[in-house]
């Protein structure tokens, strides 16, 4: 199920990745990632595709080989879930902390406002997108908004991508939901000369005030998924996948599953 982590060279530093179910997680803390990767990439106008993945996301890559390829094509995959951090710890290759996508987005917005980088907001409903942008401008005075568009369009229609390219953004946040957003980035990133691209899931809904983030105590108790489930009971099917991930990473159960020949994970490159 696990392979040894590979090495990634970034900004003159070497980082070991931690591989969980064929996905190479970047071994970093939030601060280090921002300071040593994102901020220099913005300053150098480098291109950078960031994926933030939680256990449900990893199970999704296992079940959708095309999606797995998209994720494996990203420059950095961050561990956006305690489940990933716990799994890495059980492997004896600990990751320093959970690096939550929404927090990375907030930190990048702050940095962008202070340093004159422009941001494109792509995704969520029209109302949520509009309010998210308005709130970002309030929270981060001076923020340059390169543009915005809701996430309900046909991805095959290149008009939206044309619009984003023409706005020449430094940062593109894409909130189209898991799979759709990563695919949009992978399909379009080559058309840009520069930019940090990140799929942000439901983060615009939180920024707009449409959805609430779990209170800190729920996060500390590792129950953020339960809080989201209470807010959106229709997520139950998705939450079951988190349990599947937990089962697959509980040592006793993992050994039993192996003993009985159950492992859906294929060797890298063979999916």
Tell me which residues touch ligand UDP (CB under 6 A). 123-125, 128, 151-152, 175-178, 180, 201-202, 204-205
Q: In the complex, what is the shortest distance from the CB of residue 204 to ligand UDP, in angstroms, rounded to a whole number?
A: 5
56 and 243 Cβ atoms separated by less than 8 Å: no
CB environment 175-210: b (16+ within 10 A), e (fewer): bbebbbbbbbbbebbeebeebbbbbbbbbbbbbbee
Q: In the complex, what is the shortest distance from the CB of residue 155 to ligand UDP, in angstroms, rounded to a whole number?
A: 9
Q: Which C-beta is closer to ligand UDP: that of 22 or that of 205?
A: 205
> What radius of gyration, in Å, describes the C-alpha atoms of the chain?
18
Question: What's the full length of the chain, in residues?
Answer: 271
Give CA–CA dist 139/117, Å, rounded. Answer: 15
Q: In the complex, what is the shortest distance from the CB of residue 80 to ligand UDP, in angstroms, rounded to a whole number?
A: 9
Q: Which C-beta is closer to ligand UDP: that of 132 or that of 146?
A: 132
Q: In the complex, what is the shortest distance from the CB of residue 259 to ligand UDP, in angstroms, rounded to a whole number?
A: 34
Select from 92, 86, 97, 94 the least CA-distant residue to 249.
Answer: 86
1 and 21 Cβ atoms separated by less than 8 Å: yes
Q: Which C-beta is closer to ligand UDP: that of 41 or that of 205?
A: 205
Q: Which C-beta is closer to ligand UDP: that of 28 or that of 208?
A: 208
- Phi and psi torsions of 149, nearest 5°: -160, 145
Cα 92 from chain centre: 24
Q: In the complex, what is the shortest distance from the CB of residue 257 to ligand UDP, in angstroms, rounded to a whole number?
A: 26
- Phi and psi torsions of 30, nearest 5°: -60, -50
Give CA–CA dist 195/130, Å, rounded. Answer: 22
60 and 67 Cβ atoms separated by less than 8 Å: yes
Q: Which C-beta is closer to ligand UDP: that of 84 or that of 91?
A: 84
* Shortest-Cβ-distance residue relative to ligand UDP: 151
Q: Which C-beta is closer to ligand UDP: that of 18 or that of 242?
A: 242
- Angle at 166 (CA atoms; ends 210, 186), nearest 5 degrees: 70
Q: Which C-beta is closer to ligand UDP: that of 200 or that of 248?
A: 200
Q: In the complex, what is the shortest distance from the CB of residue 34 to ligand UDP, in angstroms, rounded to a whole number?
A: 21
Q: In the complex, what is the shortest distance from the CB of residue 117 to ligand UDP, in angstroms, rounded to a whole number?
A: 23
């Amino acid at each position: 199920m696990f392979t040894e982590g590979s090495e990634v060279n970034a900004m003159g530093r070497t980082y070991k990745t931690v591989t969980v179910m064929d996905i190479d997680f970047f071994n970093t803390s939030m601060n280090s990632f921002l300071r040593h990767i994102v901020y220099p990439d913005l300053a150098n106008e480098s291109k950078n595709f960031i994926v933030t993945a939680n256990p449900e996301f990893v199970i999704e890559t296992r079940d959708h080989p095309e999606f797995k390829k998209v994720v494996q094509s990203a420059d950095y995959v961050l561990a956006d879930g305690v489940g990933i951090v716990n799994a890495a710890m059980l492997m004896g290759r600990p990751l320093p902390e959970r690096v939550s996508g929404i927090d990375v987005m907030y930190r990048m917005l702050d940095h962008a406002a202070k340093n004159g980088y422009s941001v494109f907001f792509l995704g969520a409903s029209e109302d949520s997108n509009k309010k998210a942008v308005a709130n970002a401008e309030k929270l981060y005075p001076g923020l340059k908004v390169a543009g915005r568009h809701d996430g309900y369009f046909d991805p095959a229609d290149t008009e939206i991508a044309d619009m984003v390219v023409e706005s020449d953004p430094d940062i593109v946040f894409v909130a189209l939901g898991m799979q759709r957003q990563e695919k949009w980035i992978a399909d379009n990133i080559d058309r840009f000369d520069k930019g940090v691209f990140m799929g942000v899931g439901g983060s615009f809904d939180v920024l707009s005030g449409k959805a609430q983030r779990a209170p800190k105590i729920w996060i500390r108790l590792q129950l953020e998924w339960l809080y989201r489930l209470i807010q959106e009971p229709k997520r139950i099917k998705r939450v079951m996948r988190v349990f599947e991930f937990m089962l697959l990473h509980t040592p006793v159960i993992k050994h039993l599953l192996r003993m009985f020949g159950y492992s859906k994970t294929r060797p890298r490159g063979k999916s």
